Chains A and B, each alone.
Chain A
């Protein structure tokens, strides 16, 4: 009983020891904040990645794809029909984007051209949640070009005042079609805009209604490029710069036709089938089942991957980054542990005579050790508890704190334009918090083991005579 009484009294009277756990407290708070922010980023990023890709993607190794995609869809339905919610055929190929500026100049960018059927693609993943207009308002994914855009074009204006029997009428109508093609494209937000440092808004270089040109490889023995014009009808903004600065969505049938992989009316090849599985279904199992059955149909032709496997390197990089950061932060707590060790050693020296008296009164070696171990445990619980509360409070009010710092310093600590988040995302994972707190307690208690051992081994006579 004396162990707990003395431990409690030491806790209440030895403020220097309490000071020693401030470092543990700060370490725990920092780890909770950093892990929560990183988990928030990772979680949001995973959400967005998953939103862009369907759960499972069946793709051909050949960029020209496969013509019998309807048979592949049937196989998917037959093999995993009860697990699959929707499928969407797509054609993905690299290409070059030409953005024509009003002053006659043109900007060329490397892009990924993706042919889709908007209704089908919207059923696989969160694609429809990322398509917006110039003002950032979500719009229904589609490639229809409003009729008035052509009539409002320079040639369209002239066309309005030109009689139909005028020889210029057909020429102007052709020019209006060239100035505003009737084929729509959804362009990645970062492709269509330029962000100037310090500017509050982005400048559109390819606003809605503007013409863009796309060049991409044709199918055939010799590498040859196809070129096609489109009108920008929407913007793809997922929050992942990798996609927002690369993706251009066009009608599937048009892309098939231009690549000489389809008749433009529905028959054609695709090189991907996006598969959305039902909630709660194990996507890895679905992927391996599909891989097996497709391999048996056409060996070494199809690659079936889950969205996580396709984004493996990026997700792995985030995990490694988080792990390294945790190791470094735990080292800070380990340094704090040495502080506890030093202060505990000092307290043991200060309490030498008391230890001698306790032994004279019959306290055992284990009992004396227990006093200092309990004391170390109590201190670490106090420090880690305070650190946990502090960390959780900071996480809870992180955006308010950021706003306060912004207003005090006049600079933006967290720039939403860079991260595409309106606020700092956070996610408190209870197991992570528990792990941090228990780890810190273990370090603090370990740091008190040596002083406790030293105290317990003091000879009672030498301790009593200690000056």
Chain B
């Protein structure tokens, strides 16, 4: 067993309602983060955030622009490191892991959904969905499992209602379709936690509603832990819990409408 595998197996033994699911408990303590602009200007963003999300829970993080919502999401998803504070996944500290293990966790434990979808324009929808697996596997592993992985990716596209769009490039998809493809991509890596940064931010009301319903359904069906950053309260209300950030501090924990 490699070191990377040993870290992952420590934080992956999870089940939900009797079935094997990908869900996890994420806990952050005293997170502080500041951005440096130029040589001397330091802009503090997070001032010591404590945050906990239980396995299978859906939490919305809301707050005004510049309140640190996205920064918190990036720290929780290991896209960035905190200046101070600790992050635990299933009880294991993950914020100080070396780069290789962080890469591995981002690939296996977290699924990201971005406001601007961030699909690869050169790849088809199906290939975009397969990307986490493509990153994970060596060419040899890929060729030996190709058929099965393609089938799985196609089923994820089917699940988000885009089974017929697999061969289409992102430029041939609508905004809502692109975001659903991005969600399918996040799900295809079988992550424990979905981290969504303004998933409806670029969508019209109808598409936004459809995307949020999809995330909510996935959370309920599979018990998938979800953190959704939004400034739209109607979106936030669909979460189990709402965390409000104000000037880099957690101001309040409010139960969402669905709770």
Q: Is the CB of B79 within 8 A of A460?
A: yes
User: With A4-B139, A362-B108, A364-B103 given, is the CB distance from A354 to B79 under 8 Å?
Assistant: no
Q: Is the CB of B135 within 8 A of A2?
A: yes
A347 to chain B, nearest CB (A): 12
Q: Is the CB of B106 within 8 A of A360?
A: yes
B192 to chain A, nearest CB (A): 13
B34 to chain A, nearest CB (A): 13
Would you list which residues of chain A between 446 and 467 have a CB under 8 Å from chain B?
459-461, 464
Task: Give the tally of cross-chain contacts (CB within 8 A).
Answer: 77
User: With A362-B103, A362-B104 given, is the CB distance from A1 to B122 under 8 Å?
Assistant: no
Q: Is the CB of A361 within 8 A of B112?
A: yes
Nearest CB in chain A to that of B107: its residue: A362
Q: Is the CB of B135 within 8 A of A365?
A: no
User: With A1-B142, A362-B103 given, is the CB distance from A367 to B79 under 8 Å?
Assistant: no
Q: Is the CB of B118 within 8 A of A357?
A: yes
Residues on B with C-beta less than 8 A from A359 are 79, 103, 106
Tell me the bound Cα distance from A357 to B122 in angstroms: 14
Q: Is the interface of A mostly helix, strand, loop or mixed?
A: helix
Residues on A with C-beta less than 8 A from B80 are 459-461
Stretch at the interface among A5-13, A131-139, A275-283, A383-391: A5-13
Q: Is B94 located at the chain interface by the 8 A CB criterion? A: no
Tell me the bound Cα distance from A41 to B134 in angstroms: 54
Q: Is the CB of A354 within 8 A of B120?
A: yes
Q: Is the CB of A362 within 8 A of B99?
A: no
Tell me the bound Cα distance from A267 to B171 in angstroms: 98
Tell me the bound Cα distance from A365 to B103 in angstroms: 9
Would you list which residues of chain B between 42 and 56 have a CB under 8 Å from chain A?
none
Q: Is A353 located at the chain interface by the 8 A CB criterion? A: yes
Tell me the bound Cα distance from A464 to B134 in angstroms: 20
User: With A361-B107, A361-B189 given, is the CB distance from A2 to B100 under 8 Å?
Assistant: no
Tell me the bound Cα distance from A2 to B74 in angstroms: 23
Q: Is the CB of A365 within 8 A of B138?
A: no
Q: Is A268 located at the chain interface by the 8 A CB criterion? A: no
Q: Is B77 located at the chain interface by the 8 A CB criterion? A: yes
Would you list which residues of chain A between 363 and 377 have a CB under 8 Å from chain B?
363-365, 367
A149 to chain B, nearest CB (A): 83
Tell me the bound Cα distance from A353 to B99 in angstroms: 20
Q: Is the CB of A362 within 8 A of B106?
A: yes
Residues on A with C-beta less than 8 A from B141 are 1
Nearest CB in chain B to that of A5: its residue: B134
Q: Is A19 located at the chain interface by the 8 A CB criterion? A: no
Tell me the bound Cα distance from A367 to B139 in angstroms: 13
Q: Is the interface of B mostly helix, strand, loop or mixed?
A: helix
Q: Is B136 located at the chain interface by the 8 A CB criterion? A: yes
Contact of B112 among A5, A353, A360, A367 (CB under 8 A): A360
Q: Is B60 located at the chain interface by the 8 A CB criterion? A: no
* Residue interface bits B124-151, CB-to-A below 8 A is 1, else 0: 0001000110111111011000000000
Nearest CB in chain A to that of B112: its residue: A360
Nearest CB in chain A to that of B104: its residue: A362
Q: Is A356 located at the chain interface by the 8 A CB criterion? A: yes
Contact of A357 among B105, B120, B138, B142 (CB under 8 A): B120
Q: Is the CB of A362 within 8 A of B136?
A: yes
B154 to chain A, nearest CB (A): 17
B226 to chain A, nearest CB (A): 16
Q: Is B156 located at the chain interface by the 8 A CB criterion? A: no
Q: Is A392 located at the chain interface by the 8 A CB criterion? A: no
B114 to chain A, nearest CB (A): 7
Residues on B with C-beta less than 8 A from A2 are 131, 134-135
Residue among A10, A358, A362, A365 with max Cβ neighbours from chain B (10 Å): A362
User: With A360-B77, A362-B107 given, is the CB distance from A464 to B114 under 8 Å?
Assistant: yes
Contact of B122 among A6, A353, A358, A461 (CB under 8 A): A6
Residues on A with C-beta less than 8 A from B132 are 361-362
Residue among B103, B112, B114, B138 with max Cβ neighbours from chain A (10 Å): B103
Tell me the bound Cα distance from A365 to B142 in angstroms: 20
Tell me the bound Cα distance from A222 to B131 in angstroms: 96
Q: List 13 A-B contacts (CB under 8 A).
A: A1-B134, A1-B135, A1-B142, A10-B122, A353-B116, A354-B120, A357-B118, A360-B112, A361-B185, A362-B132, A362-B135, A362-B136, A364-B100
Beyond the given pairs A357-B118, A363-B107, A461-B80, 19 more chain A to chain B contacts, judged by CB atoms under 8 angstroms and listed by A's residue number, are: A1-B138, A1-B141, A6-B120, A6-B122, A13-B122, A353-B116, A358-B131, A359-B106, A360-B77, A361-B112, A361-B131, A361-B135, A361-B185, A362-B104, A362-B107, A362-B108, A362-B189, A367-B135, A461-B74
Sort A-B residue pairs by CB-CB distance and give the 7 closest, nearest first: A362-B107, A9-B122, A2-B134, A1-B142, A357-B118, A362-B106, A364-B103
